[in-house]
């Protein structure tokens, strides 16, 4: 009989510790090795209990406490699954902990917890088991390098609302996003800040050389092209003046074409509402490079021009309503079936 996966729960609330313990203990593949209230307590418990996976309440973290978490993960090499509360601080700490190497995240709903408890249970069990399986895979230092996924998004007329809805569907640990919205300079910074206050991922106006990293969305500044460049196993963005392309700077074609060259089949391309044809040829380049491609459907577009042109070029794998695009983009970021 296969040994059960031993889980250590690190949770600030005594009530939530009992709830999580009951959820995990009810699964035949898991065993609750222990439950403690803080990261400092976890250091001693790790040495004594030797768990296979740790679940950690992101709400108990602080910027100062992240150093302690990093030491814990490096010393034990035990995967950490974050339990992320629906607060701004919780999202911030979740993203910072993911950057340090946390293995996954389970989102707690902001409301209707009782009604959504089955989903929470399923997500919790799935995340813990996935983290345990990942521990048995080759060490990252010796495994074959693989670049993270990139989601590239382009929009024009009607795009500010469409982009916001798309980002609302992302997970806090979503693949790095790069976005072009046709918008004058000085307006993109305010747009990014507005999205950042509403969306699960961290959103900001891009700066030259920014890393494309999980849980982050970079919006091209007005009046600058944004390209994706490969940097070893990672991606960065490059900003440049250049001539307008298709009458636009930033241009969606510039973003998509560079993403095709840098990320190939590791990318997903999404073209949203907008007038004209910018992005159609770039999305076609992404598809030829092996990327999965999506377009917003006519019924939910303010202007169907850009998606129509991309569809006419044969550049689109899936045409979907705006409400479905975020979910499907995340699904397509998983491994291809072989």
Question: Tell me: domain 150-332, CATH 1.10.10.970, correct?
Answer: no
CA atoms of 82 and 103, how far apart (whole Å): 8
Higher pLDDT, 47 or 324: 324
Quick check: helix, strand or coil at residue 14? helix
Residues recognised as catalytic: 156, 182, 278
pLDDT tens per residue, range 131-147: 776 654 444 333 333 44
Give CA–CA dist 259/175, Å, rounded: 14
Q: Look-up: residue for tokens 């382009």?
A: 154
What confidence tier does 89 reach under pLDDT thresholds 50, 70, 90?
confident
More confident residue, 105 or 240: 240
**What does the DSSP assignment read for 292-322?**
EEEEE-GGG-S--HHHHHHHHTT--SEEE-H
Nearest alpha-carbon partner for 32 in 15, 16, 49: 49
Tens digits of residue pLDDT in 165-217: 999 999 888 999 999 999 988 899 999 999 998 899 999 999 999 999 999 99
SS3 275: coil
Phi, psi of 205 (to 5 degrees): -70, 135
Residues of the chain with CATH 3.40.50.2300: 5-135
Burial class (CB within 10 angstroms; exposed 0-12, middle 13-18, buried 19+) of 31: middle
Taking only the tens place, the pLDDT of each residue in 19-40 is: 889 989 999 999 999 999 988 8
d(CA 287, CA 315): 6
CB-based contacts of 330, cutoff 8 Å, min separation 6: 169, 170, 171, 174, 175
In a 3-state reduction of DSSP, which class is residue 177? Answer: strand
**pTM as predicted:** 0.60
Strands 234-240 and 225-231: antiparallel
Length of the chain: 338
**192 close to 216: Cβ distance less than 8 angstroms:** no
Strand, helix or coil for residue 2? coil
| Gap between the Cα atoms of 319 and 332, Å rounded | 14
For residue 103, how far is the Cα from the chain centroid?
Answer: 13
In whole angstroms, give the CA distance from residue 46 to residue 8: 8
Topology of domain 5-135, per CATH?
Answer: Rossmann fold (3.40.50)
CB 133 within 8 A of CB 110: no
Q: Nearest-5° angle of CA 94, CA 235, CA 189?
A: 65
> How far is it, in rounded angstroms, from Cα 202 to Cα 192?
9
Interatomic CA distance for residues 155 and 145, integer angstroms:
32
Within the chain, which residue ranges are assigned CATH 3.40.50.180?
150-332
Contact 183, 266 (CB under 8 A): no
- Mean pLDDT estimate for the chain: 86
Q: Give the rounded percent of residues in the chain with a pLDDT score beyond 90.
A: 55
């Amino acid at each position: 009989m296969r040994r059960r996966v031993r889980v250590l729960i690190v949770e600030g609330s005594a009530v939530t510790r009992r709830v999580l313990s009951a959820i995990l203990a009810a699964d035949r593949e898991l065993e609750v090795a222990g439950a403690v209230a803080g990261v400092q307590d976890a250091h001693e418990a790790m040495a004594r209990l030797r768990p296979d996976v740790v679940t950690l309440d992101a709400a108990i973290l602080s910027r100062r406490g992240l150093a302690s978490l990093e030491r814990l993960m490096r010393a034990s090499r035990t995967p950490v699954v974050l339990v992320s509360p629906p607060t701004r601080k919780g999202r911030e700490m979740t993203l910072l902990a993911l950057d340090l190497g946390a293995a996954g995240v389970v989102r707690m709903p902001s409301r209707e917890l009782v009604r959504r408890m089955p989903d929470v249970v399923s997500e919790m069990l799935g995340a813990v088991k996935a983290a345990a399986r990942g521990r048995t895979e080759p060490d990252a230092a010796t495994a074959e390098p693989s670049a993270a996924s990139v989601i590239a998004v382009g929009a024009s007329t009607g795009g500010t609302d469409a982009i916001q809805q798309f980002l609302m569907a992302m997970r806090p640990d979503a693949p790095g996003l790069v976005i072009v919205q046709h918008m004058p300079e000085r307006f993109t910074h305010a747009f990014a800040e507005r999205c950042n206050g509403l969306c699960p991922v961290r959103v900001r106006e891009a700066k030259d050389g920014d890393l494309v990293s999980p849980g982050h969305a970079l919006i091209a500044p007005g009046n600058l092209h944004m390209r994706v460049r490969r940097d070893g196993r990672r991606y960065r963005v490059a900003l440049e003046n250049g001539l307008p392309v298709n009458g636009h700077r930033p241009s969606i074609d510039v973003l998509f074409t560079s993403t095709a060259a840098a990320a190939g089949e590791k990318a997903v391309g999404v073209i949203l509402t907008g007038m004209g044809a910018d992005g159609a040829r770039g999305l076609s380049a992404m598809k030829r490079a092996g990327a999965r491609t999506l377009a917003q459907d006519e019924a939910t577009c303010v202007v169907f021009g850009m998606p129509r042109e991309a569809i006419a070029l044969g550049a689109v794998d899936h045409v979907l309503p705006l409400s479905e695009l975020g979910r499907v983009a995340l699904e397509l970021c998983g491994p291809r079936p072989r």
